[in-house]
């Protein structure tokens, strides 16, 4: 019988070269209240979900991002609509990819962007 967990991805780590700059970017784009956690081997800026029991979360950490076009994409839910989120990405020093093309899927829609370190992020707007 195949394993079918509630959330196949339980944690994401996004490497960044400047924690303060990255925290400002993700706070501006997504509205997160990121806080530094020093309990591990490296400082981490935690993405804390509303329901911690879901097991899905992540953090920013000091590290070396993958070269552009070679890493994975982290799709993250936005608090409003794609146009507003895309504008915030640019204002915060990121880049909108693929000319801002919006991909429609049954669960909602998304557009690709990169953070100031070049990490690929999907701006996800669920169907509401």
Number of domains composing the chain: 1
Average pLDDT for residues 21-48, to the nearest whole number?
92
Q: Does 95 map to a domain?
A: yes
What residues make up the domain containing 16?
11-126
Q: Does 26 map to a domain?
A: yes
Q: Does 1 map to a domain?
A: no
Which one has a higher pLDDT value, 122 or 50? 122
Q: Does 4 map to a domain?
A: no
Give the pLDDT of residue 55: 59
What mean pLDDT is reported for the chain?
Answer: 91
Looking at residue 86, which CATH number applies to its domain? 3.10.180.10
Question: Tens of pLDDT along 69-95?
Answer: 788 999 999 999 999 999 999 999 999
Q: Does 108 map to a domain?
A: yes
Say what the pTM is: 0.90
3-state secondary structure string, the chain? CCCCCCCCCCEEEEEECCHHHHHHHHHHHHCCCCCEECCCCCCEEEECCCCHHHCCEEEEEECCCCCCCCCCEEEEECCCCHHHHHHHHHHCCCEECHHHCCEEECCEEEEEEECCCCCEEEEEEECC
Is the pLDDT score of 51 beyond 70?
A: no
Q: Does 98 map to a domain?
A: yes
């Amino acid at each position: 019988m195949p394993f079918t967990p509630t959330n196949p991805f339980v944690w994401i780590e996004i490497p960044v070269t400047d924690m303060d700059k990255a925290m400002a970017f993700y706070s501006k784009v997504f509205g997160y209240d990121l806080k530094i956690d020093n309990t591990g081997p490296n400082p981490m800026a935690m993405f804390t979900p509303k329901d911690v029991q879901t097991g899905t979360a992540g953090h920013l950490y000091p590290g070396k991002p993958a070269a552009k076009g070679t890493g994975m994409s982290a799709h993250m839910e936005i608090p409003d609509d794609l146009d507003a989120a895309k504008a915030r990405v640019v204002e915060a020093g990121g880049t909108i990819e693929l000319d801002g093309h919006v991909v429609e899927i049954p669960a909602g829609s998304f557009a690709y962007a990169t953070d100031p370190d070049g990490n690929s992020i999907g701006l996800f707007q669920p169907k509401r």
